[in-house]
A and B are shown apart, each in its own frame.
Chain A
């Protein structure tokens, strides 16, 4: 075992030990020796969400391997089954149901896309199984997973920064710096994440006296987005807001810069992966978004995560890997304190105990200090980042949770 691996193992061991000693659930001393904590995950490894899902899978597996190598959770090993939903809502629900009812997992991570979450989360709620969303950022994910029914969902949590926080924080940060007057919104209308993001932009700009000159919806399966970008550019806005998934923001940025537009791009979580920054290249330089995570943070939990991810996968992690890694840390911490029996007959009560323990999670993670709000949403520092024009990001500023 080489040195950095040893160091990362040591940190995780210390983390797990710390969880045991500082946990608020009172069950830190219980032993699960010889037992297995079965977890499941539904991620989009293929299809449109395949831009994000594989990193989530890798981040989650990394955490599981590190925890197991460090002695597990009170002696129990974690097993994680990852299923691919092919970015399809129906398949996502089907895979989640199989994990819950056939594989009898204690809790589920995912799904990758908000679009699928509207099917999967109510299902998990109904089957009384804790589910932790690690990348779904649309609206009505927590606590109202059964929207339009607004009864809070008890079993649904998320550790991903919602667009409802990320987009307004990002706009505010830019307004503080540059006082833009006008904007145009380019919004993909054919998925929940993107169209939710568009609604949030529309609802936010007025507060900062930005006049939204036009909203231009488009379908993601449009061969050439140039005509839409031409419409936006011809209005000469100070800002172009982009809410879309995958490679689309990069295509829009490239086209707008080629057409000579020099203004500011502002976006949401769709910007926050190195793939998008790399594809946009020089055209993306300066494009800003608010992120749940920043690769350059040097506090130990993040530095260790970044180092071990690079070592394991030979590439940089991204926000989705960090959030999934954090997701496993959260479940491990909750499991540590939940005083479960971990027998086949105790599954329902174990799920309830785990759910209860999740509410009081308070740990250090690669995202920063992490807690849930009473609505089961994230309470964490927001990092405003911008693309560096070379496939990476730089930090603009950080915003503390209110």
Chain B
């Protein structure tokens, strides 16, 4: 069971990091950005490609991966969201347009083969690949019965530190106050002199960079990078996490991530692998029935 708790904490960190980006956009814009899973994948794919196909060091590759993810945040705002906002389209329209962008990004990566138009981005088509051994040092420690891999252990402090920084920025800085004001009431924020469009753009850039980082760490620790890692592995669970934690709440996303990881593992150990997925979503259903606003959600008070 000890090893399984380590497994739960590790996967919980990935869920949390992914869900924070999701919940940030939801908290401020009241829409679900379903392109977030594609950004998660793109962060990992670009970083891998920079290391393996373009011969860059891992640090440079990470920076390019993060920049590419942040850039997709800009694309999401200018192409998927702002034109719809101008027309006061309903939230469902934005949801659909982000799904569309996600499909385009996944398809672009999927088409990346040697000699194809997208070969600068990705050359492995639909294949799953892993960073070559030695890209980053990855010693394995054995503590008692526990096996701890450096890349997995690393994810935990990185996730917690980033979430603390984000929490601090939101709570105590001018930018954070601006973002919260937009979340509270965009029209009032605009009347108070805030550049609402700029705030929203900033939100999407931060959210997407976080999503990309989650993807890079996922690819590094699990040795699994393919066009489908976002869609298959974290998209639906990310939604589950923000429902558990409370839609739009950053601490909620963090706690929700770890909680979902733990629920899945406890179900696996006690009820067997057939039941684990079902139990996680049964917990989600229970939460929706008993406490629809989630653990940390607030109904009418300020969000974020």
Contacts of B132 in A (CB 8 A): 281
Taking a contact as CB atoms under 8 Å apart, the answer to whether B128 and A246 are in contact is yes
Contacts of B269 in A (CB 8 A): 227, 231
Contacts of A45 in B (CB 8 A): 125-126
Per-residue interface assignment for chain B, residues 4 to 23, with 1 indicating a CB less than 8 Å from any chain A CB and 0 otherwise: 10011011001100000000
Binds B, one of A29-37, A170-178, A217-225, A373-381: A217-225
Minimum distance in angstroms from B213 CB to a CB of chain A? 16
Taking a contact as CB atoms under 8 Å apart, the answer to whether B147 and A224 are in contact is no
Taking a contact as CB atoms under 8 Å apart, the answer to whether A223 and B218 are in contact is yes
Taking a contact as CB atoms under 8 Å apart, the answer to whether A279 and B7 are in contact is no
Taking a contact as CB atoms under 8 Å apart, the answer to whether A50 and B4 are in contact is no
Taking a contact as CB atoms under 8 Å apart, the answer to whether B125 and A224 are in contact is no
Taking a contact as CB atoms under 8 Å apart, the answer to whether B130 and A48 are in contact is no
Nearest residue, chain A, Cβ from B147: A259
Q: Chain B binding site: helix, strand, loop or mixed by DSSP?
A: helix
In the complex with contacts A224-B10, A250-B223, A281-B126 CB distance below 8 A: no
**Contacting residue for B273 out of A49, A217, A234, A260, CB 8 A:** A217
Interface size on A, residues (CB 8 A): 41
A217–B11 alpha-carbon span in the complex (Å): 19
- Find residues 3-60 in chain A having any chain B CB closer than 8 Å to their own CB: 45-51, 53-54
Per-residue interface assignment for chain A, residues 201 to 239, with 1 indicating a CB less than 8 Å from any chain B CB and 0 otherwise: 000000000000000111111111011101100100000
Query: What band does the interface of chain B fall in when counting residues whose beta carbon is under 8 Å from A?
Result: 35 or more
Taking a contact as CB atoms under 8 Å apart, the answer to whether A231 and B233 are in contact is no
B237 at interface (Cβ–Cβ under 8 A)?
Answer: yes
Taking a contact as CB atoms under 8 Å apart, the answer to whether A231 and B268 are in contact is yes
Taking a contact as CB atoms under 8 Å apart, the answer to whether B4 and A46 are in contact is no
A282 at interface (Cβ–Cβ under 8 A)?
Answer: yes
B33 at interface (Cβ–Cβ under 8 A)?
Answer: no
A230–B5 alpha-carbon span in the complex (Å): 11
Taking a contact as CB atoms under 8 Å apart, the answer to whether B273 and A279 are in contact is no
Most chain A beta-carbon neighbours within 10 Å: one of B14, B224, B277: B224
Most chain A beta-carbon neighbours within 10 Å: one of B110, B124, B142, B228: B228
**Contacting residue for A54 out of B125, B129, B237, B273, CB 8 A:** B125
Taking a contact as CB atoms under 8 Å apart, the answer to whether B7 and A50 are in contact is no
Contacts of B107 in A (CB 8 A): 46
Nearest residue, chain B, Cβ from A53: B126
Taking a contact as CB atoms under 8 Å apart, the answer to whether A51 and B274 are in contact is no
**Contacting residue for A221 out of B3, B232, B265, B274, CB 8 A:** B232
Taking a contact as CB atoms under 8 Å apart, the answer to whether A223 and B222 are in contact is yes
In the complex with contacts A46-B126, A230-B3, A279-B129, A220-B232 CB distance below 8 A: yes
B97 at interface (Cβ–Cβ under 8 A)?
Answer: no
In the complex with contacts A48-B126, A50-B125, A279-B223, A230-B7 CB distance below 8 A: yes
Per-residue interface assignment for chain B, residues 45 to 89, with 1 indicating a CB less than 8 Å from any chain A CB and 0 otherwise: 000000000000000000000000000000000000000000000
Contacts of A246 in B (CB 8 A): 128, 226
Per-residue interface assignment for chain B, residues 127 to 144, with 1 indicating a CB less than 8 Å from any chain A CB and 0 otherwise: 111101100000010100
A189 at interface (Cβ–Cβ under 8 A)?
Answer: yes
- Supply 8 A–B pairs (Cβ within 8 Å), ascending by A: A45-B126, A50-B110, A50-B125, A216-B273, A221-B232, A228-B273, A247-B128, A281-B133
